[in-house]
Chains A and B, each alone.
Chain A
Amino acid sequence: MPLKIIKENNKFDITITKNLDDIRILRNAIGTWLEEIKINAFKIMSIKLCIEEAIYNGMLHPYKNAKPQEKVVHLIVKKVKNSIKMVVRDYGKEEWYKNYKIPDALNTEGAGQSGRGLIIMKNLSDKIKIVNSKNYGTKVCMTVNLPNTNNTIQEGF
């Protein structure tokens, strides 16, 4: 099954396999849920962008020589008090993050086309932690605080 979505009250648990087109489906499913729970438009877009960029990285970089069906990314999105927490995990062998260079944002040459995903994630989330391990893949944990809070995160990843 290429896309598996489990939705509970305040939590999405999603597994995406090989098909990048599925990112749009899950992005919009999460967007609809965030609208239902009255999150404002900019925060919704921030969350959707963080998720998309992390999944896109997870599908592309760590699975260099893997077969399509081996490309698996797991996503958990949950509302925890006054924040949205996201964990995006891949199981690839490539330690891409260690060699990752954040590009100059204004670089218009060649590689300037890519690499802004991490800039977006870092700037749109209030907290980001990336854990990379050769044997266990890469885990990207992000928190977006919701408005009208004192920014206190009650629960860790």
Chain B
Amino acid sequence: MRNFRYKIKNNKFYIELVSPRAEIDYRNANEFAEVIKEGIEKNFDKVYIDFKNLEFIDSAGIGKLVTFSKRAKIILLNVNEKIKKVFEITRLCGLFDFK
């Protein structure tokens, strides 16, 4: 089962998490990376990722975001407070836009 899906709306590339209690970790980080890469290969310079359902992200998932932040602007949507704190403590907030 896929953990991530994308849609293109108003010429913007959006990634959604399929599970209502999604987790991004060492197991699915590569799949996450593939979806981000798809947006970049379609020549979108911004990738919107909806973290509404995100319950957990580990260093493997964070690492993928950091890697792709050089190739596209990563915009994180609906990030809950506990996840945002993880970005804060790893000093990564500056790499991404939070909306």
Contacts and interface: CB of A to CB of B under 8 A. Distances in A.
A141 B38 CA distance: 40
- What is the size category of the interface that chain A forms with chain B? 20 to 34
Given A42-B85, A45-B82, A123 B63 contact: no
B9 interface: no
7 residue pairs, one from A and one from B, having the closest CB atoms: A113-B63, A123-B89, A116-B59, A108-B70, A105-B91, A42-B82, A117-B59
Contacts of A105: 90-92
Contact of A119 (B23, B81, B90, B94): B90
Interface in A80-133: 105-109, 112-117, 119-120, 123-124
B56 A56 contact: no
A8 interface: no
A35 to B, nearest CB: 12
Interface of B: 23, 25-27, 55-56, 58-60, 62-64, 66-67, 69-70, 81-83, 85-86, 89-92, 94-95
Interface in A48-89: 48-49, 52-53, 56
Contacts of A4: none
Please classify the interface of chain A as helix (H, G, I), strand (E, B), loop, or mixed, using the class held by over half of its residues: helix
Contact of A112 (B58, B60, B66, B91): B66
A96 B52 CA distance: 37
